[in-house]
Amino acid sequence: MKNRGASLFPLAMLVLLAALTFWLNRVIEGDKPRGPQRHDPDYWVENFEVRRFDMDGKLQHTLVAEKLLHYPDDDTTIVTAPQLTYHQGAPAEISARMAYVGTDGKEIDLVGDVRIVRRGAAGDVPPTVLETRVLKIFPDAETGRTGAPVAITQGRSVLRGSGLEFDNKTGVTVLRGRVTGTLHSNRTEKP
């Protein structure tokens, strides 16, 4: 009988250690769901305006939109009908149907009816209008790029390309791929 009790003691210790391990795991891990998390927004904002200032206190850009939704499971932010306006230099207005904002806000993917309107310094020059389907912008650097077809118009002049890169600070836009276009002179000189 004494041998039987001595042989059950290690088994009882093993069961006790297994139960203690299970209990510690539940305490540390909690009751987290094992399946995929739900994709529900944790906050949203409607009809808002955000202003960004540079280091000197000058207004750099303004973002106005109909709605913003933030999803915590993948840390994505979706903005409906965004309108981004750069105020320094020649004003540039960027709009789209939707925008997907990166986790740190340094990259924004504009999707659907993307349009950039850049007004000339002189009032008699027609604005330059850029249109494409998608555009990735970097708001702090005031740059952007796309691999989608692009159309740039100014008055009756039209340029088309299969992608582009732009820099709002320098005013330089580089069309990529096969570029075609029609340039019209705005001069009204008589021969």
Residue ranges covered by each domain of the chain: 1-32, 43-182
Residue 77, token pair as written in the block: 């932010």
Question: What fold, for 43-182?
Answer: lipopolysaccharide transport protein A fold (2.60.450)
Judged on CB neighbours under 10 Å (0-12, 13-18, 19+), 41 is middle
Residue 68, token pair as written in the block: 């913003």
CA–CA separation, 169 vs 87, rounded Å?
11
SS3 for 24? helix
At 136 the pLDDT is 94
User: pLDDT for 123-163, tens place per residue?
Assistant: 677 888 999 999 999 987 888 999 999 999 988 999 999 99
* Residue with the larger pLDDT of the pair 13 and 95: 95
pTM reported for the whole predicted model: 0.72
C-alpha angle 175-176-180 in degrees, rounded to nearest 5: 70
CA–CA separation, 94 vs 44, rounded Å?
22
The DSSP call for residue 122 is: S
Residue 31: pLDDT band (50, 70, 90) is: low
Give the helix/strand (H/E) hosting 17: helix 2-29
- CB atoms near residue 75 (< 10 Å): 11
Residue 115: pLDDT band (50, 70, 90) is: very high
CA–CA separation, 108 vs 111, rounded Å?
10
CA–CA separation, 69 vs 85, rounded Å?
21
HSE-up of residue 2 (Cα within 13 Å, Cβ side): 0
At 4 the pLDDT is 65
